[in-house]
Structure formats: C-alpha cells, structure tokens
A and B are shown apart, each in its own frame.
Chain A
Amino acid sequence: MSGSRSPRDFIANHVLQIPRSGIRDFFDIVATRRDVISLGIGEPDFVTPWHIREASIFALDRGATSYTANLGLIELRQAIARYIRTRFGPHYDPETEILVTVGVSEALDLAVRAVVEPGDEVIYHEPSFVAYAPIVRLAHGVPVPVATSRVNGFRLSRRLLERAVTSRTKVLLLNFPTNPTGAVLTPEDASEIAAFARERNILVFTDEIYAELTYGAERVCIASLPGMKQRTVLLNGFSKSWAMTGFRIGFVCAPPPLIEAMMKIHQYTMMCAPILSQRAAIEAVNRGDADMERMRLEYERRRNFICAALNEMGLPCHRPQGAFYAFPRIAGLGLSSKEFALRLLDEENVACVPGSAFGESGEGYVRCAFAVEMDDLKEAMRRMSKFVGRLAKRRKKTRLAT
C-alpha cells in the first residue's frame, strides 16, 4: 500500500454508495435567493401551540435538565398508550411496548437496524419519503421500491406487493398518509396488505406521522387488524400533528421483544429523548386535541384551494386524502420535474420539490406543500399559473411548427 489515505478513502463503502439527496442540491440553490415563496417545506407553518411550549418552559424553570429512562418518561408512555388506544385502536403496554425516540426518523432507523441483516429486503411504496432507502442501505439491507401511480391515487395493493416479494423479504414499510402523494390506506387495502404480510410471514413497519392529518378519509391502523399487532411496528410522533418538528420527538409501539431490541440501540446511541421535549409532548397528547383540529381544518381548506388552482391551470392533480402535499403531474409540459422546478424558481420565484427526489416513480410530478399561509399559497398559485400558461403556449407553438 503506497501513499497516505485521503479523508475520503476512510469513508465506509456503504456510506459512499448513498447518493447525495436530491432535496439538498435543490435546497442549496433556493437558499441563495431572496423573496422566494417556498412550497418545498415539509413541516407545518404553525408555531407549536403556546400551552405546549409553555409546558416545556415550565419544566425548564423547575430544573428538568436530566436524562430520563431510556424508554422515555413513564408519564409520557402512559399518555401515548391512551392516545393510540382512543384515536387508533390498538392497546400497547406503556411498560414494555412503547419507546420514546428523537423524532420518527430515529424510530425508523432503530426499527430497521433492529431487524435487518445484510441482504435482507425491505419493500416500500414509491414515491416515498427520501430517507427510507438510505436508512435501509445503512443497515446493509436492500431497499425494494414498489411504484404506485396516480391512476389509483397512489394506493398500494397486494398485486403490486406480490411482484416485489422474494424469499429475502423481511419487512414491508408503509407510510400512509404518504409524503409526497397524500395517499391513504383504505380499510380494504389494509386488510389485503395485512393478509399478504401474514401469509408471507413478514414484518410491517408503519410510519404514521401524518395519521392525524386526513381529510374525510376513513382511519385505519393496520396494527389493529387480526393477527397484526404481533408483526407490526407502529411509528408515530408529534411533529406534524402538533407542529412540533423542532422538538424532535417521536415514538414507536411494538411487541416487547422488538421494543427491547430497539431500546438496546437507542440506549447506546441516543440514551433518551430530550426531557424538555418529552414534557412538551405530554401536554400535547393530554390537552392538544383542539389545536390539532384547528390546524387540520386549515390544511383542509388549503388542500381544497391548491387542488382547484392546480387543476384550473392545467396541471392534473389528484385530491390528497391526507398529509399536506399536493403532487400535480407536470409531465405534459415537456420538462423533467427537475427542469420544471428550476425554471419555476428562476422565472417566478416559487420553490417546489421535483418529484424525482422521491424516487424514480416520482418523475413527471412536483411536490407542492400546502403547509404555507393562505396568502402565500394564493400568490404562489398565481405565479405558477402564469408560468404554466407560458410553457403550454410555447409547447403548442413548437408542436404546430414541427
């Protein structure tokens, strides 16, 4: 071996293999510009409700600055058990079946690391949240995306899963309502998928961070279906429902052996979730229903508005049943999703995220978050409509010329 190794040479191969996030590239471009209306933000525009912030301040005031139990404050786990039971159905034991984490991101990482061995396959539906494939790869697993399409509202079906399953499939990762498509799980889909998981003997991870943000869709939690609790890892958190992204607080509910396994990783890497965030979370779960409903209604109104506006300007957009993203199709305009996003930013100062950032099947779409104040949303739609009008006109001209 000759010469000294450069810093890059030290990097583990499986980390090198993970491509730079498409969102980061775009973020760097947007960050250089002023007065952009951004529809590219994947977090609520509301500030955390005051009584929840105040609970954190009060805890700090009383000197709550210590570690907590690895699993999280028992008071919080009890509150979570109550919350999940009343809003979603399944019963979890706060002593052994709930672990409080630093956001749902940590919860998902723990779940994947606890069960995935090198070469194990994890099926997930695409377009999807950007972190799924990398988290699986970091655990030396194999991410297996299943493409869903606009035709059926980006729903997932057993038929799609059967095509992707192999003898190495260990986990099916669900995310309903879906970031970026707003798709939801219907009761029929859920029982079909549950049957698939049982018959194929695979574990289900369900990332339900947007579960509270649905607009008229029937709520179904796959863990509550027959025989599913024992093979389901339920991941949820406070970030989206209560506008608490910066608190970094989530949780995972699962059978005791799985919680025990995840807790091992959590205890040696994270110790515990921050105590001030846990205190805020207790207040949110116990007394935050009205705030959540207020924000949900506001998102619903914006959802109606943005879908109508996008369709009116000629961008076909299905009605998202949950989350706070519209996912219009832009493929008809002759641009890739990246080109579309870059030119929209350049010409009209509106930022959205190219669909390709959410996987191959996201190409041809852009993600427009409606976690944006109504006035900004209106202005963004006005500008976008101008832009799309110009594109469509130009395209018509070139078509006539050729």
Chain B
Amino acid sequence: MDKLLKLLKANALESPQNLARMLGIPAGEIKRRIADYEKKGVIRGYQAIINEDRLDLDRVYAAIEIRITPEREGGFNRIASRISKFPEVEALFLMSGGYDLLAFVRGRTLKDVAFFVSEKLATIQGVISTSTHFRLKTYKENGVLMEEEKGDERLKITP
C-alpha cells in the first residue's frame, strides 16, 4: 500500500496540507491522487471508528460461521453474494479451515440476530450449518484500541 493510503487509513480526516508536509509532495498532487483513488474504487469510503460500548445502544453483534455447499460453476460466490446483501451483514469473508463463510452480523437484540439466523440464513438453499458467537466486549477494532493506555511517563525535558 502506498504511503498516502497508509496515512489515510490511519486518519482519513488528515488535511491535504499536512499530508503534503509529511510526504514531501505538493498539496495539489495529494488532492489529485485521492480523487484518483476514489474514482478507481481503491478508496471505498470514509468512516469514523466508534467505541459503541461507550454509547447506550440497543445493539448486539455476532460472528457467524457458515458451512455451505459449493455449486457447480458458481463455487461459493453466488451464495456468498446473496448473504452479503442482507443489511444485517456488516462483513462477510470466505475462509479456509473448518467452515466456509464468516459473517459479522448486527442486530438490535439477541432475538433479532437469532431470527435472522434461523429464518434468513439457515433457510438459504446450500447452507449446511451455522454457528453463532455473540460479541461481549470490544477491545480493539480496525487497529484502534478502545480503551486509552496510561499516559506518557517520560520526563518533560531530557538530553
């Protein structure tokens, strides 16, 4: 990944001026490259990383392991694409190992998610089995620690 993308991944709000200073590239060039990445679909969007545990939300998250039967000519893609279209599904990956697909699902309540699994997911033709794990607490997300580490203990001035 190029240096500009790395910096944006760490902080999408970084100003073109600061990016220019850090990379030694003119700000105009930075803007042009960002626009180019957006156009090419390399940058798919910009989001805030929110510690939802700090908010009083009615929301539960689950990771669901899904085993499916691959189809002739379609492989896993058709079923995966179908599953990924549900708004409840926040992320979906094809995995190696003991199951095929891993879905990260969001719901308002435990019941919501249970309903989604039993009524929507498990009933799809080709889905053999599912295994649902509910998330209890978030320690780190997108490379960001959710709890502050202790402050800087260094002396204020050292040689």
Are A and B subunits of one complex? Answer: yes
Contact present for B152 and A305 (CB under 8 Å): no
Name the interface residues of B39-75: CB closer than 8 Å to any CB of A: none
Contact (A38, B159) CB under 8 Å given A304-B24, A305-B21: no
Name the interface residues of A322-362: CB closer than 8 Å to any CB of B: 351, 353, 357
Query: Size range of the interface on A?
Result: 20 to 34
A305's contact among B18, B155, B158, B159, by CB below 8 Å, is which? Answer: B18
Contact present for A41 and B157 (CB under 8 Å): yes
In this complex, how many residues of chain B approach chain A with their Cβ under 8 Å: the count is: 16
Contact present for B159 and A21 (CB under 8 Å): yes
B159's contact among A23, A301, A351, by CB below 8 Å, is which? Answer: A23
Contact present for B154 and A43 (CB under 8 Å): yes
Nearest Cβ in chain A — how far from B43, in angstroms?
20
CB neighbours of A36 from chain B (8 A): 156
Compute how far the CA of A27 lies from the CA of B157 in the bound complex, rounded to whole angstroms.
5
Question: Does more than half of chain B's interface fall in helix, strand or loop, or is it mixed?
Answer: loop
Contact present for B159 and A129 (CB under 8 Å): yes
Annotate B4-44 by CB proximity to A: 1 below 8 A, 0 otherwise.
00010000000000101111100000000000000000000
Annotate A279-311 by CB proximity to B: 1 below 8 A, 0 otherwise.
000000000000000000000011011001100
Compute how far the CA of A30 lies from the CA of B149 in the bound complex, rounded to whole angstroms.
24
Annotate B90-115 by CB proximity to A: 1 below 8 A, 0 otherwise.
00000000000000000000000000
Annotate A111-153 by CB proximity to B: 1 below 8 A, 0 otherwise.
0000000000000000001110000000000000000000000
B21's contact among A30, A42, A130, A308, by CB below 8 Å, is which? Answer: A308
Contact present for B156 and A31 (CB under 8 Å): yes
Q: Which residue of B lies closest to A358 (CB)?
A: B159
CB neighbours of A302 from chain B (8 A): 22
CB neighbours of B3 from chain A (8 A): 301
Contact present for B22 and A41 (CB under 8 Å): no
Compute how far the CA of A308 lies from the CA of B21 in the bound complex, rounded to whole angstroms.
6
Q: Which residue of B lies closest to A309 (CB)?
A: B21
A353's contact among B21, B22, B155, B157, by CB below 8 Å, is which? Answer: B157
Name the interface residues of B119-159: CB closer than 8 Å to any CB of A: 149, 152, 154-159
A41's contact among B21, B23, B24, B154, by CB below 8 Å, is which? Answer: B154
Chain B CB within 8 A of A182 CB: no
Chain B CB within 8 A of A40 CB: yes
Contact present for A131 and B159 (CB under 8 Å): yes
CB neighbours of B158 from chain A (8 A): 23, 27, 40-43
Q: Which residue of A lies closest to B10 (CB)?
A: A374
Compute how far the CA of A38 lies from the CA of B152 in the bound complex, rounded to whole angstroms.
11
Contact present for A305 and B22 (CB under 8 Å): yes
Add 17 more A-B contacts to A27-B157, A130-B159 (CB < 8 A).
A23-B157, A23-B158, A26-B157, A27-B158, A36-B156, A40-B157, A41-B154, A41-B157, A47-B149, A131-B159, A179-B159, A301-B7, A304-B21, A304-B22, A304-B24, A308-B20, A308-B24
A-side residues, CB < 8 A to B, are 21, 23, 26-27, 30-31, 36, 38, 40-43, 45, 47, 129-131, 179, 301-302, 304-305, 308-309, 351, 353, 357, 378
Could you write out 21 A-B pairs with CB less than 8 Å apart? Answer: A23-B158, A26-B157, A27-B157, A27-B158, A40-B157, A40-B158, A41-B155, A42-B158, A43-B158, A129-B159, A301-B7, A301-B23, A302-B22, A304-B22, A305-B18, A305-B22, A309-B21, A351-B156, A351-B157, A353-B157, A378-B18
